[in-house]
């Protein structure tokens, strides 16, 4: 049973966000005991291919094996590395989602989202620019956000994402972004794109991070899996 579900996930037959059948349904489908089903689901969770939610079941979270790091806020990560970090809010506005952001958030282009742009100054020098695009939550007053930890801000309002997926690439900065980071136009930077999901698996945040490569390096802790 585990190998069959794993094959379906890795082949893409089951996509990230798809819910697996209930434990009772899996018992009937594969003709195995409830204990065997739970053992298989726990192993898929250990491989970080599914996430299990009490009373709701198991949802596919990834379609490939990948290195996993804790889902830290950037400010916490940089302070953990020893930097003296000062966040600056450059904009905090409701705006219409463009096509690319809309696809990442699973909404229609033109829908209203909250756009927060921040810059992190580390040890007195610009290090990273962050563009956050958030699905608006009725109970959240985004004007109260002071700029430090977005996840702490969301946590106290009970809308903290449960997990996220990131893509990392290198790009050359446009003029408007390079001026914010105090680097020449066209300079290569590291771009991380993060899509964060609610406990129910819905996209709630899409963020682009633009890192100066002369000031930031990516460090991963890897764990051997058989």
Q: What percent of the chain has pLDDT over 90?
A: 50
Top-confidence residue, 223 or 113: 113
What is the dotted CATH code of the domain comprising 74-212? 3.40.1410.10
Query: Helices (DSSP H) in the chain: which residue ranges?
Result: 2-11, 23-30, 34-46, 74-80, 99-105, 150-155, 175-181
The pLDDT assigned to 143 comes to 95
Task: Evaluate if residue 53 carries a pLDDT over 80.
Answer: yes
pLDDT (tens digit per residue) in 130-183: 999 999 998 899 999 998 889 889 988 989 888 888 899 999 999 889 999 999
pLDDT (tens digit per residue) in 2-43: 778 877 876 678 888 889 999 999 999 999 999 889 888 888
Instruction: Tell me the average pLDDT of the chain.
Output: 87
Task: Evaluate if residue 62 carries a pLDDT over 90.
Answer: no
What is 97-127 written as a DSSP string?
--HHHHHHHTS-TT-EEEEEEEEEEETTEEE
CA distances from 204 to 4, 61, 85, 113, 165 (A): 31, 15, 26, 10, 12
Q: Which residues pair with 192 in a beta bridge?
A: 168, 209
pLDDT (tens digit per residue) in 175-197: 889 999 999 999 999 999 999 99
Domain 2-60 has CATH 3.10.510.20: no
The pLDDT assigned to 22 comes to 92
Task: Evaluate if residue 47 carries a pLDDT over 80.
Answer: no
Listed in order, the ranges of the chain carrying CATH 3.40.1410.10 are: 74-212
DSSP conformation class of 90? E
Listed in order, the ranges of the chain carrying CATH 1.10.10.10 are: 2-60
Task: Evaluate if residue 51 carries a pLDDT over 90.
Answer: no
Assigned token pair, 183: 């680097």
The pLDDT assigned to 67 comes to 45
């Amino acid at each position: 049973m585990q190998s069959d579900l794993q094959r379906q996930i890795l082949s893409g037959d089951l996509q990230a966000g798809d819910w697996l059948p209930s434990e009772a349904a899996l018992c009937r489908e594969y003709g195995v005991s409830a204990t065997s089903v739970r053992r298989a689901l726990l192993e898929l969770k250990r491989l970080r291919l599914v996430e299990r939610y009490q009373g709701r079941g198991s949802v596919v979270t990834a379609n490939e094996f990948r290195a996993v790091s804790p889902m830290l806020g950037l400010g916490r990560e940089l302070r953990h590395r020893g930097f003296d970090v000062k966040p600056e809010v450059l904009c905090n506005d409701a705006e219409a989602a463009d096509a690319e952001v809309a696809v990442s958030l699973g909404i229609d282009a033109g829908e209203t989202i909250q756009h927060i742009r921040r810059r992190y100054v580390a040890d007195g020098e610009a290090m990273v620019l962050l563009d956050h695009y958030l699905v608006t939550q009725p109970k959240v007053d985004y004007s109260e956000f002071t700029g430090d930890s977005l996840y702490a801000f969301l946590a106290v309002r009970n809308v903290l994402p449960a997990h996220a997926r990131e893509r990392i690439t290198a790009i050359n900065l446009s003029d408007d972004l390079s001026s914010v980071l105090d680097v020449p136009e066209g300079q290569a930077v590291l771009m991380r794109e993060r899509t964060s999901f609610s406990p129910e698996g819905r996209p709630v945040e899409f963020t682009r991070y633009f890192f100066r490569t002369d000031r930031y390096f990516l460090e991963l802790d890897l764990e051997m899996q058989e």
